[in-house]
Amino acid sequence: MAKLEYTLDQIDYQILRIMQDNARTNNADIARELGMAPSAILERVKKLEQKDIILQYNAKINPDALDQKMLSFIFIKAQDIIGVQKVGLLLAEIPEVQEVHDIAGDDGYLIKVRTNDAAGLVDLMRNSLGKIEGIISTRTTIVLETVKEEQKLVIPTKK
């Protein structure tokens, strides 16, 4: 993991804004848009990657296309010793689990799970969650419809 301390200027923000919207934008296109040479853009992008400011580039795939029509959030109460996130790490290993958050309050986790259908969810709870020691209880919230789902951050306009 590289350093995070790094002063981003307005040009970096613009690059991040463009890349956040379309990660496949050419260096040449970015250069044209910002009125700079492509090589300068390349240097900055490389630096943003090295400094772990750009973490990765991913293609967002339509879940329906892969028949993953079910989305659920599950609150999990666990008997973890504070600071030792053993249960959290085990949860993170489950492929269908997209997110694992350690939440305040009931010494628990909130996880986001994508399965084919209700049967897939039951299956996951029985076979994957059921085998993790330390889980005391779960409370499941089913998503009927997703109105918005993106990872985009609000990028400052001035520093």
Partner DNA sequence: TCTGAAAATCGATCCCA
Partner DNA sequence: TGGGATCGATTTTCAGA
Judged by the rule CB under 8 A, the positions of this chain that interact with its own copies are 4, 6, 8, 16, 19-24, 51-66, 68, 71, 73, 85, 88-89, 91-92, 95-105, 109-110, 114, 141-156
Piece of the chain touching DNA by CB under 7 A; list 33-41, 59-67, 81-89, 132-140: 33-41
Residue 39 binds which entry of DNA, its own copies, none, CB below 5-8 Å type-dependent: DNA
Helix 27-34 × helix 10-21 angle, to 10°: 130
- 141 counts as binding DNA under rule CB under 7 A: no
Q: Which residue has the tokens 């918005």?
A: 148
Nearest to 72 by CA among 128, 152, 133: 128
- 37 counts as binding DNA under rule CB under 7 A: yes
- 36 counts as binding DNA under rule CB under 7 A: yes
Nearest to 138 by CA among 74, 56, 71: 74
The set of residues, in sequence order, having a beta carbon less than 8 Å from that of 96 and lying 6+ positions away, is: 113, 114, 115, 120, 124, 128
The footprint of DNA (CB under 7 A) covers 11, 26-29, 35-40, 42-44, 47
